[in-house]
Structure 1
Amino acid sequence: MADLIDGGAPILGEPLPLELGNTAYAVRGRPRDGLQTAEHLAAWLRDVRTRLELRLTDADLLAVTDDDAVSGRELRDAIRLLAVAAAAGQSADPGAVETLNRHARKTPRWHELRIAPEPLVTVGTAGRPVAAVLAMIAEEAMHLFAGPLRLEVCACQGPGCVLHFVRDTPRREWCSPGCGNRARAARHYAKVRKP
């Protein structure tokens, strides 16, 4: 996959919908878009493809289009709105819900049993594989924001961070140890600067 650019959006091990939402991130407080181009979407899909139920080949990634990138950004933005609402304990934005629903039903897909060489369940699609993956992520987002984990979706409290995560321990406040370190350093700096 040397033909693809390096990713850039952080991959934190969160559920895939939040990983997609986190492709709108910040570096030193400055907003960044990890899905600016088709190449960025392809790089992100490459980085998460081991976690996808539908297998994406290198050819699938090289065939990502500008329209796929537009769809990816639209889905990402809807997921971010839902994550912000969940983290704040507020009602979901109806427009974001409709966008999520529209993406989930875009591409028909089904499960198939393969026997040789080992029994394996695979996912088939009548559409383009990248569109099917985005539809699957939309469906996963539905389960995330309608299930018990929605109560654990949090916004990172790190200075300048705009990422979301699922709280896995009661005291977790940051998306990553790096954000936690920056927050502690900022608190320490504020203490020692006071006259």
Structure 2
Amino acid sequence: MSESVPAAAPGAQEHPCLALINSAGLQPGGKSYDELATPEAAVAWLKAHGLIAPDAVLYEHCRGRLAALRADLRDLFTAFTAGEAPPAAAVNAVNRALTSAPGTLLLRFDPATGFLRSADHPVTQVVEHVMAVIADDAAALLSGEQAAQLAPCEADSCDRFFLRTHARRQWCSTRCGDRVRAARAYARKRTLQGA
């Protein structure tokens, strides 16, 4: 893992929607990262999360669709954790992703093996399938029992989401917590020196 990409936040390994949302953001000092910056990076990210076959290929258009879903999910999660109504466009985008993947295996005939059923996966259907899986995970998370555990990181300059492992948890990582505590200690020290 690159030093510029933070470790997975709690819940991101179990929920691909959290992993996708957290695949872009800001690091300390305002440096940004994007794990889906190129089609090749998007393929590597999807493979690392077990969402596509090792031989899958994505093009820029598909990468852009995945990045757009990430933005829509971020809007939904931000509204949810703020207790606000989500943007209708974001809800509609997630619903489109939920219904875009074909759910039926098609009937095929191979002279050597006979009839078989398989999915038809041109490049666009690969990304549609991935988007449907991620959108389904987001819908289940937002409407399920774990929804109350969903939280944004409270560290300044961090825009990641995580599932609280305990009620008092405020940060997505030890790194963010350490940064906040160090900033508080520095501020106290400066206040005492100024007094």
Question: Shared fold (TM-score greater than 0.5)?
Answer: yes
Change (3 A) 1:125 1:170: farther
Q: Which residue of 2 aligns with 1:86?
A: 80
In structure 1, the residue corresponding to 2:25 is in which secondary structure?
A: strand
Amino acid at match of 1:99: A
**CA-CA distance at 1:20 after TM superposition:** 0.3
Note the 1:1-195 alignment, pairs <5 A: 9-10=5-6, 11-12=8-9, 13-14=11-12, 15-28=15-28, 29-49=30-50, 52=51, 56-60=52-56, 63-109=57-103, 125-127=119-121, 128-194=125-191, 195=194
**CA-CA distance at 1:100 after TM superposition:** 0.4
**CA-CA distance at 1:32 after TM superposition:** 3.0
Question: Structure 2: any 5+ residue segments left out of the alignment?
Answer: 106-117
1:56-92 deviations in Å (ceiling 9; x for gaps)? 32211xx111111111111100110011011111122
The TM-score with structure 2 as length reference comes to 0.79
Alignment check: 8 A CA contact 1:7 1:40 kept:
no
Alignment check: 8 A CA contact 2:47 2:53 kept:
no
Matched residue pairs, number? 172
In structure 1, the residue corresponding to 2:129 is in which secondary structure?
A: helix
In structure 1, the residue corresponding to 2:100 is in which secondary structure?
A: coil
Change (3 A) 1:79 1:7: farther
Q: Which residue of 2 aligns with 1:120?
A: none
Change (3 A) 1:9 1:71: farther
Change (3 A) 1:83 1:22: same
Q: Which residue of 2 aligns with 1:114?
A: none
The TM-score with structure 1 as length reference comes to 0.79
**CA-CA distance at 1:126 after TM superposition:** 3.3
Q: Which region of structure 1 is more displaced relative to structure 2, 90-99 or 5-14?
A: 5-14
Question: Structure 1: any 5+ residue segments left out of the alignment?
Answer: 112-123
In structure 2, the residue corresponding to 1:105 is in which secondary structure?
A: helix
Question: Aligned residues: percent identity?
Answer: 31
Tell me the distance in 2 between the aligned counterparts of 1:180 and 1:131: 36
Tell me the distance in 1 between the aligned counterparts of 2:171 and 2:120: 40
Tell me the distance in 2 between the aligned counterparts of 1:175 and 1:76: 18
Amino acid at match of 1:22: N
Change (3 A) 1:81 1:125: farther
Tell me the distance in 1 between the aligned counterparts of 2:187 and 2:103: 53
